[in-house]
Each structure stands twice: as C-alpha cells, then as structure tokens.
Amino acid sequence: MADGFGGKEKCSDQRLVSLPLSRIRVIMKSSPEVSSINQEALVLTAKATELFVQYLATYSYKHGSGKEKKALIYSDLSNTAEESETFQFLADILPKKILASKYLKMLKEEKGEEEEEDEEDDESEDEEAES
C-alpha cells in the first residue's frame, strides 16, 4: 500500500517542476561529498533552481535592452551578471561576448605586461646581486 502511495507522490513531484529530475540528480551526485539524495531534497533543489532561473530571466529582461524587442538576449544576461551585485557570482559563467580578434589582442597585451614585469624583476635581482 505504501509503495502505491509513493509512486503517486513521485508522479506529482515531477509535475511540480519543469526541469528533468534525473539531470539534477546527476549534477548533485557529481559532488564527491554527496552519497545519496533524498527525493524531497531533489524536488526542492529543482524547484529552487527553476525559481532562480525565472528571477534571473525576469530581472535581465526588465533591466536589459531586449525589452524593446520583446526578447531576452544573451547580452542582457551577461550585463545583469556584471552590473548587479546579486548576480555577480555569475560573471564568469555569463561573460560578455567579444570578438576573437579582440580576445587575441587582449592576450597579447597581457603577455607583453607579463614580460615587462619579468624583465623588471630580473633587473631588480641583478641590482641586488651587485650590491
């Protein structure tokens, strides 16, 4: 009798959330500290994730440029991650899109700065050795 009730409960749990519970379980189990996952914890995590994604999308839409086009675009999400203190932790996950040529130029500039710093360090070490 309890098995029949549990089956119905499991079915209703899946109706509460839109995200696939099996995928969320895989993500949760990818953590080495997690050995088993309670069904209720799984459903609550899925629901919390849905609510978070919904809030992020709504906030990004309201504060983004896609509102004019009645669409949520990637740049709205990346701007939200960069500008909003609440979503700052997503800045690495939702970076601003840049052209490959700009990225390569940035890499060259960084390498140039690193080489200059290395040369300055070498010179200061030489001066200290002479003293």
CATH 1.10.20.10 fits 21-97, yes or no: yes
In contact, 94 and 81? CB cutoff 8 Å: yes
pTM score, whole prediction: 0.62
pLDDT band at 4 (very low <50, low <70, confident <90, very high): very low
For residue 50, pLDDT beyond 60:
yes
The stretch 37-51 carries a mean pLDDT of: 93
d(CA 101, CA 12): 51
- Token pair belonging to 52: 């978070």
| Residues comprising the chain, all counted | 131
pLDDT tens by residue, 104-127: 888 888 888 777 766 666 555 555
Helix (H) or strand (E) holding 55: helix 39-63
pLDDT at 14: 59
pLDDT tens by residue, 55-70: 999 999 988 887 677 8
pLDDT at 120: 64
Higher pLDDT, 109 or 131: 109
pLDDT at 6: 47
- Token pair belonging to 57: 């999308």
Q: Where are the domains of the chain?
A: 21-97, 98-130
- Token pair belonging to 118: 């290395």
